[in-house]
Structure 1
Amino acid sequence: MTVPSDAVSNVSEAPQDPTLRVLSLNCWGLKYISTHRAARLSEIGRQIASLDPPPNIVGLQECWTQADYLAIRDLTSHILPYGKFYHSGIFGGGLVILSKWEIEESSMYRYPLNGRPAAFYRGDWYVGKGVACARIRFGRGRKDVVEVFCTHLHAPYEKEPYDDYLCHRTAQAWEIAKKMRHARERGHVVIGLGDFNMLPSSLAHRLVETHGGVRDVWRLRKPNSALGAWEDGHAGAEEGAACPHVEHCISEHGATCDSQLNTWRWSKTMRKDLGKGRDTVIAPHTADPRAKRLDYVFFSPGENRAGTWQVSDVRVGMTGRHPELRCSLSDHFSVETVIERVTETDQVEDEPTEYLPLSTYDEILAMTRKYTLRERTQRTLRLGHFGFQIAMSVGCLIGVWWSPRNYVAFILMVLSSVGLSVGVLEGLMGGLFVGSEERALREFEWEIENARKLASKAIEEREKAGQGNVKIDDVAVP
């Protein structure tokens, strides 16, 4: 089957009242690192193509190679004839958007705060994480447009609030929230999806919903779902102190990550046995203390669409295994939702609030300033290391003149070369990268201060108008 190009001009007539069936999946497709990458991603394409009814908008994360993208396009082109593979960073952003309808406009926005080059073993900075944006027309009306935002936020390497990259992920959540809010203000339907690497009701989650003017579709349908892993002290309201089981974590709590059902989360012994053909059956009622939700679909009908759309279904999907390898298709499960147009008499969810509590803005500012001080210290240390390595390199070269043996001269030359190389890298990171990061932090800090000022002004104006308490992000502010 021939795969259509990214820019396809032939488009079938779009229905006036479509149902948006959306799927988001982190494919775990790291080149040279992910096990059985090509086989798994091809099977992901086959399973997407076999869904009934089929999705009409798909967002993929960690689809790093063109070969994997083209394999999925080839398998799904009969239901998703339009698609875009997004390029970013040194190794690529890993983001893909597939659509039933034509992509009218597309862009890739790279996050200003995006990890550190020194953490090369983590790779977040090198892949250029950002937001893949696609404007898709699903009908003939002027406002029959859905703007899709697919992202993969910076990974957490420690639990909040001890995560060194919490500031980066918070700033990234703010950036995608701005883009979704702008689309909403244009009156377009908004879909934000991806691996956000955050827990429900966390700081980043509240930023996305409140500042973006969008709603988490899972929380809309299942408001009592868990806010995180049971072992971390989170549980749904109906669970109490009991550890939820596998089936309940998936069906009620939306667990897309660290599920006992996912073979990539099994112990080394269990994975080794699976590779030898000895499978392990996970009973549906097995306790699942680590399962949590990191993958999301956010939705807004747009300012001109209030009262015309509703989320009719949401589920975790792609929980099956590869038919031959018997491994899970990815280290994440997919999140799938159905969003339907409704009549004016149907019940419509409340619009999200516009501002966060003032204390939340203060929390973000305190976190940003603390991180800024950390980076300034890092810059001083790195520049100091640069100066030391230059001095050591010069000292080694001078020492060559008086070296009594050739092998001593060789050792000094090696030390000089290695020291100079390390020093130059430290100087570049301290002098250039940290400076760039600090300027990005200043911009983020100004935007938070400005948002806080607007929130405070809105409270004062409504109080003067005699409206009493103002509801801000589910917190009554007197």
Structure 2
Amino acid sequence: MGKENKLKLLTFNTWGLKYLSTYRKERLTAIADTLAGEKVATPIPELEDFVKDEDYNFDIIALQEIWSEDDWNYITKKCKTKYPYSRLFYSGIVSGPGLAILSKIPIQSTNLYRFPINGLPTAITRGDWFVGKSVAITTFEVAGQQIAVFNSHMHAPYALSGSQNYKAHRSVQAWDFNHLVQLYKKAGYATILVGDLNSRPGSLPYSLLIDSGLSDSWELSRNNKKDDLVAISKMTPAEQIIEGCTTCDTILNTWRTDICEPDEAQRLDYALVDSDKFDVLDGHAIFTDIIPHIGSFSDHFAYTCTLVLKDPSSTANSSNIEDSVVVGNSSLIDNENDKIKIEQRVAIYTELLETIQDYVKTCNTRDTIRQSIAAVSFLTFFFLIILYLSKGDPQNLSNYKFVTGILIGVLLTLTFVFFSLIGLAFGRSERRAFKEVENEVTDILTSLNTNNKTYGSL
């Protein structure tokens, strides 16, 4: 394999929320300067020999949370010589999805897929719905092979469990992601999925992404060694980064030191790759240094990996049971290993189905509350109107009572209109989107169970 077959990737959530992120401009400037080849930060003492200067030389860079065009303009200007090809993606009604690509390799094409299910418009303090979380797809040609890079920042979990975890939203996003990846794989692309996926290893969204036929580059770099999350939680903070690639909530990140416990460190940033098309030479966390007088580059550490494209002739006849089953192919299953794979998929899809059904029950409760608030607001406003009309000329009432009544009436009217519009516009749309995915999952489960029965009769 020649050097032209190697591909070094970087995925980095830059924490670029305009007006909200601490030292945003200074940190994004330092990120751009570092990408351009300048040394602007010092290593954490515990990780002094962990990352080398040469590790900062990438071929393709996928960024998340680029939510200020001023930041993006500085990044592209600073990195123009080293990374002449770039793209910022647009979506949503506020800021955009925050997804961007920098590359040494010419970009062939770009496309943006916006997730149909992406949080709630009523969750104003969350912001996921307003920015239009998406998948940014960029294609390249490397050593004569077509490559598709999927960059995304999936819906955030705002709690470990419960409605604020948004598990159903993230899982359905992973389901859509799964289908997108498979479409490009079937078209012959070597596929790479990168980003802040906001999902722990082994979680349902993670399992759905792996189910697309991709492999975790971090695990491949360690001879397919799976993460032991319990063991990682008991490691020292430095060991968690070196041995567990914990890119988020580590206390060695200055923006997490005072708000996280040592056992909360987790891996949320990934590069999932088509192992039929790529070998993985290495993978590790990066951008772990400290900017003097500022702190860490971001509230996440970045992740980088080096891939080697396999010879196309060696992968031309490779087959994957996952690809055949997911589209309902009823070809006979050949061996016990394939049956185990089918059973694993049934378990994943069954959990997805149950997750959707549980969330829909929550939606029913939420809609009932919303409708009740709208009804009470309307009736109260109607009562106030009747009351004031029965009093005769408003001028006969004390001014402060009249003004107060008017303000209450306006507030109640706005409340009624708001909750009515949310129910009519968003509520129905969300419900139908979940119903569609529920039907898709049911169809595939039926196909999988048919294949399993066929196997049992052989």
| TM-score (structure 1 length as normaliser) | 0.81
**Shift of residue 351, structure 1, vs aligned partner:** 8.0
For 2:245 and 2:320, locate their aligned partners in 1 and report how far apart those are by CA, in whole Å. Answer: 21
Q: For residues 54-453 of structure 1, what are the structure 2 equivalents within 5 Å?
A: 54-91=57-94, 92-139=96-143, 141=144, 144-160=145-161, 163-210=164-211, 212-222=212-222, 223-224=224-225, 226-228=227-229, 234-235=230-231, 243-267=234-258, 288-300=262-274, 306=276, 309-323=278-292, 325-342=293-310, 354=322, 356-401=344-389, 402=391, 404-453=397-446
Distance 2:366 2:161 in 1: 22
SS in structure 1 of the partner of residue 295 of structure 2 = coil
User: Aligned partners of 1:161 and 1:454: how far apart in 2?
Assistant: 31
Q: Quick one: structure 1 residues 102 and 43, their matched pair in 2 at CA, closer, same or farther if it must change by over 3 Å?
A: same
- One-letter code aligned to 1:366: E
Do the aligned partners of residues 186 and 461 (structure 1) sit closer, same or farther apart at CA in structure 2, a change above 3 Å counting?
Answer: farther
**Deviation for aligned residue 1:363:** 2.0
CA offsets per residue over residues 423-472 of structure 1, 9 Å max, x none? 111111122211000000011101111221222233234444x4xxxxxx
Identity of aligned residues (%): 30
CA distance in 1, matches of 2:240, 2:147: 31
- Seen in structure 2, the aligned counterparts of structure 1 residues 461 and 49 have a Cα distance that, compared at 3 Å, is farther
Q: Output the CA distance in 1 between the equivalents of 2:382 and 2:416.
A: 12
Which runs of 5 or more residues in structure 2 are unaligned?
Answer: 38-52, 323-341
- State the Cα deviation string for residues 159-203 of structure 1 (Å, max 9, x = none): 146654110010011111111111111111111001111110111
- Structure with the bigger percentage of helix: 2
* Aligned counterparts of 2:401 and 2:33: Cα–Cα separation in 1: 62
Report if aligned partners of 2:118, 2:132 keep a CA contact under 8 Å in 1: yes
1 CA distance for matches of 2:267 and 2:33?
25
Helix, strand or coil: the match of 1:61?
strand
8 Å contact kept, 2:10–2:304: yes
Give the direction of change, closer, same or farther, for the CA distance of 1:390–1:101 in structure 2 (3 Å limit).
same
Change in Cα spacing, 1:434 to 1:345, as seen in structure 2 (3 Å) is closer
Structure 1 unaligned blocks of 5 or more: 1-14, 229-233, 237-241, 271-286, 467-478
2:326 counterpart residue number: none
Contact residue 204 and residue 351 of structure 2 kept, 8 A: no
1:281-302 CA distance string (max 9 Å, x none) = xxxxxx932211011111015x
Match of 1:52 in 2: 54
CA distance in 1, matches of 2:171, 2:177: 10
The DSSP-based 3-state class of the residue aligned with 1:55 is: coil
3-state SS of 1:28 partner: strand
2:329 matched residue in structure 1: none
- Label 1:106 to 1:73 Cα distance change in 2 as closer, same or farther (>3 A): same
Q: Which moved more, 1:362-371 or 1:335-344?
A: 335-344
Contact 1:200–1:227 (Cα < 8 Å) also in 2: no
* Change beyond 3 A, Cα 1:164–1:322: closer
Secondary structure in structure 2 of the residue aligned to 1:115? coil
| C-alpha separation in 1, matches of 2:205 and 2:157 | 12
- The alignment of Structure 1 onto Structure 2 pairs a total of residues equal to 412
Which letter does structure 1 place at the counterpart of 2:11?
S
Distance of 1:227 and 1:351 partners within structure 2? 30
Seen in structure 2, the aligned counterparts of structure 1 residues 345 and 136 have a Cα distance that, compared at 3 Å, is closer
- Kindly provide the amino acid, as one letter, of the partner of residue 383 in structure 2: G
Rounded Cα–Cα distance in structure 2 between residues aligned with 1:265 and 1:418: 40
Shift of 1:406: 1.9
Worse-matched range after superposition: 359-368 or 409-418:
359-368
- Give, in whole Å, the separation in 1 of the partners of 2:113 and 2:86: 17
**Cα RMSD between the aligned structures?**
2.5
Change (3 A) 1:250 1:351: farther
Q: Distance in 1 between matches of 2:449 and 2:16?
A: 45
Contact between 2:251 and 2:258, CA under 8 Å: does it hold in 1? no
Q: Return the TM-score normalized by structure 2.
A: 0.84
* Compared CA separation, residues 352 and 41, structure 1 to 2 (3 A): farther
2:22 aligned residue (35, 42, 46): 35
